[in-house]
Amino acid sequence: MITVQKTFSNDGPIAQKLGRYEQRNSQVQLAQAVEKVMEMGGVLLGEAGTGTGKTLAYLVPAILNGNKIVVSTGTKNLQEQIFFRDLEFLKDALQLNVRTAYLKGQDNYLCKTRLHAFVHSPKCLSFPSQEVARLTQWANITATGDRMEQENMADDAPIWREVCSTRETRIGARCPFFDECFVTRARREAMLADIVVVNHHLYFADLATRMQGGAILPNHETVIFDEAHLIEDIATEFFSTKVSSLRTELAVGDAMAAVNAAALRDDAYESQRAKTAKTIISLCANLFDLFRGPKGRTNLESSHIDTAHKTYYHKLDSALESFELSLKHLEGQDESIDHCAHRIQGVRDDLGEILEHNDHRYVYWADTRNRSVILGASPIDVSAYFRNEVLFKRESVVFCSATLSTGGNFDFFKSRLGIDFEVEELLLDAPFQYEQQARLYIPNHPTDPRSDEFVHMACSEINQLISLTDGGALVLCTSFKNMNAIHEKISENWFGPVLKQGDAPKFSLIEQFVNTPSSVLIATTSFWQGVDIPGDDLRLVIIDKLPFASPSDPITAARVTHLNDQHKNAFMEYQVPQAAITLKQGFGRLIRTAFDRGIVAILDNRLHTKRYASSFIRSLPPAPVLNDFNRLKQWWNDVS
């Protein structure tokens, strides 16, 4: 009989498949803890540092367990690694016929109904004929409908937005293409599988659907959340209500395309519907433009909604109602048209809910982007949703990440997800010798990180550091403003390439960075996690400031107020631990293998002056801390 212990032993099936293998105690500990919670039921919180081998640690007991299990990841890269590499390796090593499925969000799949409507619509003529031809030819031969097969299609290709499946556009069993539907086919495969690999976005889309009486994923006894530190933010997104001019225009455009594709006769509303559609587009532009403000998300108070807003809102609602009624005139003649009428009603309901501000459990906001404005309402606290819909509805739940704890415990993570009962906890260090492999450099300078002089000071330190390591540096910034300013100044002095997030796709920037040893890559947000550059290519990580969430962000501000109203210290119980997890993610970019050497520099003097500094230091790996550049230089010269 195959056991977890035997699988990971030095003469076990994994060792026999790998040329070099040495049993890691931390990996075995995690695997046994996962096995126990699957057998006994309950919740496991497992932090396993980089290099532990946590994916195999939870996949082995998942494969051996035999129950229906969903593995949910935070990123697409990890989802693909688990399905295409790790599971295939283990099935081969263990010689077990385990059925697995890989399920993506709906917008990754082609919708034949929308494609049919698109090619018969006037809008199709605005796209290059060759692009349309390639898409239709592929649609006729693809077995999966997965856009991943379209290697030459850009991530933001406008044509894909016209033909992909979405939660809003999906009709279900009434769709004329239901039996050929790629989403339906993928879900059927998931229903038959023992292990289904998804991402957090899809998992919470399933929860939102279940709350309305439907389902996307099969029923399952166990869910394993990898990259679990991302859960609160993604849950918040999926339990939010959002309306934009784009959502409204797509709903109207899809309805017009559906009516056109149906080629119905005796449509008395045809002329009036077309006029109303144009009116809706115009009113949308006027209404949402009134909410346009500084770029980013800002609070939307009831007092911000004046007579002009209400006037345009009522006009838009009336036009949408008229358009909806014109579709209901055709009710029962075409399923796509009926579904579009339902979508229009959904836009009206959601817009009314946001602008009426009726629920104190939500925070209301406006998000201004380059070409659009999104209005939304987000739950201030998702813990009750998560506790009721996940923790109390699964026999066993496993949370894994390299960054779940803060200050040596899981209290913050548990408080954010409503885990107020006894659970299994396992805190495993990474199998690296940080004392020998790394140094944490925190220069002791007097510059306040909120001052105008900070960027000048930071660039002086960065120039000194990249000269020491001869590049190979990732500079992580806490704002786009700092990123752009630092990039401009470093580019003036550094002899090697100075790359910047946004100038090319993420994978392309990393490839350029790796191929040029003297490179400096300056980035923000998306580069704080999910960047894996082992070896000497990355030998210096510089972090400009402690990554506190912006206090002006409406959701952050509402959560701070909510905690303070409960007589809690929101700064120490929410803002500091949240920033500590992000900081630990940034630090984690450096040491990826037992052979790596390097420096993490944090240029924020609050780590010297504030009482909460110890909370950050305790959350980081145990690399020795240096404040003096000459001592840092001596260490680097000794190890490099």
Kindly report the CATH number assigned to the domain that includes residue 317.
1.20.120
| Same domain (yes/no): 90, 229 | yes
213 shares its domain with 337: no
Q: Which of 379, 411, 443 is the last residue of a domain?
A: 379
Do 92 and 70 sit in the same domain of this protein? Answer: yes
Per-residue model confidence (pLDDT) at position 328: 86
The structure tokens 């992909």 sit at: 164
Could you tell me the CA-to-CA distances from 249 to 2, 340, 483 in Å, in that order?
56, 12, 35
Q: Which of 428, 460, 494 is the last residue of a domain?
A: 428
d(CA 347, CA 284): 12
Burial (0-12, 13-18, 19+ Cβ within 10 Å), 302: exposed
Looking at the structure of the chain, the number of domains it has is: 4
Both 69 and 136 in one domain: the answer is no
Residue 3 lies in a domain: no
CA-nearest of 256, 262, 259, 167 to 215 is 167
In percent, how much of the chain has pLDDT > 90?
Answer: 70
If asked whether residues 357 and 324 sit together in one domain, one would say yes
For the chain, residues with pLDDT lower than 70 are 264-268
> Which domain, by its residues, includes 551?
434-639
According to the model, what pLDDT value does residue 248 have? 94
The reply to whether 10 falls in a domain is: no
Do 601 and 626 belong together in one domain? yes
Is position 15 within any domain? no
Which long-range contacts link 450-457 to residues 24+ away (Cβ below 8 Å)?
454/544, 454/545, 455/482, 455/485, 455/486, 455/489, 456/489, 457/603
Residues 477 and 519 in one domain: yes
Q: Is 423 helix (H, G, I), strand (E, B) or coil?
A: coil
Position 6 in a domain: no
Record the tokens describing residue 49, joined without a space.
């540092």
Looking at the fold, whether 581 and 474 belong to one and the same domain comes out as yes
Check: CB of residue 474 under 8 Å from CB of residue 536: no
Per the domain annotation, does 18 fall within a domain? no
Residue pair 530/510 in contact by the 8 Å Cβ criterion: no
Output the domain CATH number for residue 419.
3.40.50.300
Domain membership of residue 5 (yes or no) is no
Rounded to whole angstroms, the Cα distance separating 144 from 115 reads 15
Specify the DSSP element, H or E, that contains 577: helix 576-587
Q: Is residue 355 part of a domain?
A: yes
- The pLDDT value recorded for residue 573 is 95
pLDDT at 335: 82
CA 250 to each of CA 127, 245, 246, 277, 377: distance values in angstroms, whole numbers, following the listed order: 16, 9, 6, 11, 20
Q: Which amino acid is at 289?
A: D
Q: Do 317 and 421 sit in the same domain of this protein?
A: no
Residues 352, 231 within the same domain? no
Q: 459 with 533, same domain?
A: yes
Rounded Cα distance, 159 and 169, in Å: 16
Say whether 113 sits in a helix, a strand or coil.
helix
Give 471's DSSP letter: S
Cα dihedral 397/398/404/409 (nearest 10): 80
Instruction: Give the predicted TM-score (pTM) of the model.
Output: 0.89
How high is the pLDDT of residue 267? 64
Q: Is residue 164 part of a domain?
A: yes
Residue that finishes a domain, picked among 363, 379, 395: 379
- Hunting for tokens 């939307």 — which residue is that? 300
pLDDT value for 640: 86
- What type of residue sits at position 406? T
**Distance of alpha carbon 138 from alpha carbon 106, whole angstroms:** 18
Same domain as 405, residue 352: no
Could you tell me which residues come within 8 angstroms of residue 19 by beta carbon, excluding any fewer than 6 positions away?
Answer: none
Q: Are 499 and 493 in contact (CB under 8 A)?
A: no
pLDDT for the residue 217: 93
